Amino acid sequence: MEKPHSRNGSYNAKHFINRELSLLQFQRRVLAQAADPKVPLLERLRFLCIVSSNLDEFFEIRVSGIREQVRLGNNAGSTDGIPPAELLALISAEVHHILSEQYALLNDDILPALAREGIVFLRRGQWDEAQSTWIHEFFLREAMPVLTPIGLDPAHPFPRVFNKSLNFAVELEGRDAFGRVSTTAIVQAPRVLPRIIRLPDRPGQAPYTFVFLSSMLHAHVGELFDGMHVHGCYQFRVTRNSDLFVDEEEVKDLRAQLKGELQQRHYGDAVRLEVADNCSEEMADFLLQYFQLNRSELYAPSGIVNLVRMMQVPDWVDRPDLKYPPFHPGLPKALAQRRDIFSALREKDVLLHHPFQSFTPVIELLRAGADDPQVVAIKMTVYRTGTDSVLMEHLVRAAQKGKEVTVVLELLARFDEEANISWANRLEEAGAHVVYGVFGYKVHAKLLMFVRRETDGLRRYVHLGTGNYHPRTTRFYTDFGLMTANEEIGKDVAEVFKQITGLGRASTLTHLWQAPFSLQPNVVAAIKNETEIARAGRRGRIIAKINALLEPETITALYEASSAGVEIDLIVRGPCALRPGVPGLSENIRVRSLVGRFLEHHRIMFFHADGQDKVYLSSADWMERNFFRRIETAFPVLNPQLKRRVIKEGLRGHLLDNSHAWEMQSDGRYRHKTPRRTARSAQSALLAELAAGG
């Protein structure tokens, strides 16, 4: 198979927005959800925690990569022209601003509002006598036996600190039992200890009363150092480089090498130090020096150093009035009325729109395939599926029944590597063929194919999706899935599987666009086709909904289309390097981002094409990695009725949304849309139309 290369060109830096700074703008949009009083209170807390979780990954992957460029002396910027060292300074300043706003929102708004609803997080100074007694007993019974205080001296070096773990730096005075004088100790909080503890119910106490483990340890840390005087105790947290490195030239067994790399992920180079805002300057400097970080990489929020630990609180609190109302995902009529899913697909294609419509038909399709004696082969790509997946259990059962099961399992799915390795072992033990794609290219396409023996011969049934085969995330991510028995699409899918598992040159596909071969060229060609149509005096129209827009050649093609008069609407959830609304360059391009109850995740392309209205769904964002370093697919929606559904449900409603939409300005910042008269929410409308009880 020929190895494709991305195209390198010279681009005007002022026409591009930096990826990392654009990604931080997305965190501001998520933070705005936490600040919105119209959002249910416990959901606001969840959004606040999501910001922290997103920033963790941002530092683990994005910032660590930029620091590595600086270390290697690379002064060249990307298409935006910002050198790596300057970019780190800009990131630090922006993250410090975001954290300041985030913790002000937590301390001044959300925590007081929760307290008024009987959901209280008690600090040490707020404990009454009974609470103090219970907390002390809990500390002695549950915490103290598993804590290992380490006084720093020549015989006790600084302990290895796990990535994102909770630790305490303790300032001490005095001599210990051996006459040693040590002024500093480290206490690591084992992961077996809960970070938030709910106090038992009692009269006069708020219904939901919690204390943080950090508060408990602060209160009783002195008991770990008998006879010593504790001057200060400061929680700290280190974020490390978590990107895995696998040498393409040296690796012989990807799974074996990856297992070794995973052991080291917890101890990569430090990229961020978080300390409590009461941390002394001396201790902060000591920690920075040890972790080889500078002052700009120090973050001292006014509260607990890890808000992610509060993510589960909404699930612990039984207050439906403070959460989004529940709903029941709908079912397409074609499936609700037919018991045999294969016969239903022989009659017509089925489009699923998650989470408004259920993911159950996909699970049912795989269950039926595993049990149906007429199904002789099943092939599936797996990127993320989770540690407990009914889909994977069906694959295991199918293999145990003697069916030809082939699973293309992406071992390098970031932060899901361990789960995927575990499933690889289970599948192979059951007799399935497990392959890890093509080394150097992540398999990100979402493909599921069944080969079934029928009276007229073998027939293929396929499911193609924009999102992962992960039943849990399908409840929170918006995605489309197409189920079809179309012969030509089935043949294309079979060809993609053959390319991934075997050897040979890439062949021309009838309907699918495939990265790293034809996807980016076809996207650019479709944009240029609209450009030529507009130059001929006819209507040119492009609408695209993606999660990220960064690939420079595609952006340049969009600029040229805009200059020719093509009307372009881009719905980009996350980072966007294109500058909209620049006179003479992009005045016909509008960019908006939607942030609401569900994570906008589907990728949709619409090209007017002189009235043909071509619609494609895809697993790929418009990024260099997706176009050139991943195996991705884009597939057409051929059924006219389903095509109209995609346009209505996935594009038109999002362009009319004035409740959760943000409009991008040419400087890269966003302005929140607010309804003048009638409020419109794309997600709310879809819940009302496709789901029940929303």
Confidence of residue 22 (pLDDT cuts 50, 70, 90): very high
Q: What is the pLDDT of residue 505?
A: 83
pLDDT at 10: 56
Work out the pLDDT band at 5, boundaries 50, 70, 90. very low
Gap between the Cα atoms of 369 and 377, Å rounded: 9
**Can you give the three-state secondary structure of 590-632, one letter per residue?**
EEEEECCCCEECCEEEEECHHHCCEEEEECCCECHHHHHCEEE
Percent of the chain with pLDDT over 70: 93
The answer, yes or no, to whether residue 506 has pLDDT greater than 90, is no
User: Do 60 and 241 meet the contact criterion of CB atoms below 8 Å apart?
Assistant: yes
Domains of the chain: 13-322 (3.30.1840.10), 333-505 (3.30.870.10), 514-690 (3.30.870.10)
| Contact between 368 and 395 (Cβ < 8 Å) | no
Report whether pLDDT(184) > 50.
yes
Geometric angle at alpha carbon 486, from 482 and 492, rounded to 5° = 85
H helix intervals, 72-110: 84-105
Q: What pLDDT shows up at residue 173?
A: 84
DSSP 164: T
* C-alpha dihedral (203, 207, 213, 216), degrees to nearest 10: -20
Does residue 262 register a pLDDT over 50?
no
**Has residue 99 got a pLDDT over 60?**
yes
What pLDDT is stored for residue 376 in this prediction?
97
The predicted pLDDT at position 178 comes to: 65
What pLDDT does 693 receive? 57
At residue 209, the pLDDT reads 98
For residue 106, what are its two tokens? 């937590």
pLDDT tens profile 210-250: 999 999 999 999 999 988 889 999 999 999 998 755 444 44
Mean pLDDT score across all residues of the chain = 91
Pairwise pLDDT comparison (76 vs 427), residue with the higher score: 427
Q: pLDDT value at position 6?
A: 40
What residue type is 340 in one-letter code?
A: D
The percent of residues in the chain predicted with pLDDT above 90, rounded, is 78
Question: Predicted confidence band at 252 (pLDDT cuts at 50, 70, 90)?
Answer: very low
- DSSP result, 244-269: ----TTT-S-HHHHHHHHHHHHTTS-
Q: Distance (Å, rounded) from C-alpha 589 to C-alpha 611?
A: 20
DSSP string, 171-198: EEESB-TT--B-SEEEEE--TTS-SEEE
Other CB atoms within 10 Å distance of the CB of residue 273: 23
Distance between CA atoms of 501 and 503, rounded to whole angstroms? 7
At residue 207, the pLDDT reads 96
Q: What's the confidence (pLDDT) of residue 180?
A: 66
Pairwise pLDDT comparison (2 vs 621), residue with the higher score = 621
In this prediction, residue 440 has a pLDDT band, given cuts at 50, 70 and 90, of confident
Which tens digit of pLDDT belongs to each residue from 590-615? 999 999 999 999 999 999 999 999 99
- Give the residue-averaged pLDDT of 344-360: 96
Q: Backbone phi, then psi, for 282, in 5-degree steps? A: -65, -45
φ, ψ for residue 302, nearest 5 deg: -90, 65
pLDDT at 558: 98
Model confidence at 259: pLDDT above 80: no
108: which DSSP letter? I
Structure tokens at 443: 């398999």
Answer yes or no: are the C-beta atoms of 333 and 641 closer than 8 Å: no
AA identity, residue 3 = K
Report, in angstroms and rounded to the nearest whole number, the Rg of the chain calculated over CA atoms: 27
Residue type, position 92, single letter:
S
Assign 421 a pLDDT band (cuts: 50, 70, 90).
confident
Positive or negative, the CA dihedral 65, 66, 72, 78 is positive
Comparing 8 with 628, the larger pLDDT belongs to 628
Q: 676 falls in which pLDDT band (50, 70, 90)?
A: confident
- Cα distance between residue 267 and residue 239, in whole Å: 9
Answer yes or no: is pLDDT of 253 > 80. no
pLDDT tens digits, 353-408: 999 999 999 999 999 999 999 999 999 999 877 777 899 899 999 999 999 999 99
pLDDT, tens digit (0-9, with 9 covering 90-100), for 303-339: 999 999 999 999 999 999 999 999 999 998 888 776 7
Q: What is the rounded average pLDDT of the residues 3-13?
A: 56
Is 672 marked active-site?
no
Residue 106: what residue type? L
Indicate whether 467 pLDDT > 50.
yes
Q: Which of 220, 353, 354, 444 is catalytic?
A: 444
Long-range contacts (CB closer than 8 Å, 24 or more residues apart) made by 36-43: 40/321, 40/322, 40/323, 40/324, 41/110, 41/113, 41/114, 41/117, 41/322, 42/114, 42/313, 42/314, 42/317, 42/319, 42/322, 42/323, 43/314, 43/322, 43/323, 43/324, 43/597
User: Does the pLDDT of residue 63 top 90, yes or no?
Assistant: yes
When pLDDT is averaged across residues 396-423 and rounded to a whole number, the result is: 81
Q: If phi over 0 gives left and psi between -120 and 50 gives alpha, with beta otherwise, what is residue 174?
A: left
Question: Does 89 have pLDDT greater than 60?
Answer: yes
Tell me what pLDDT residue 403 has: 95
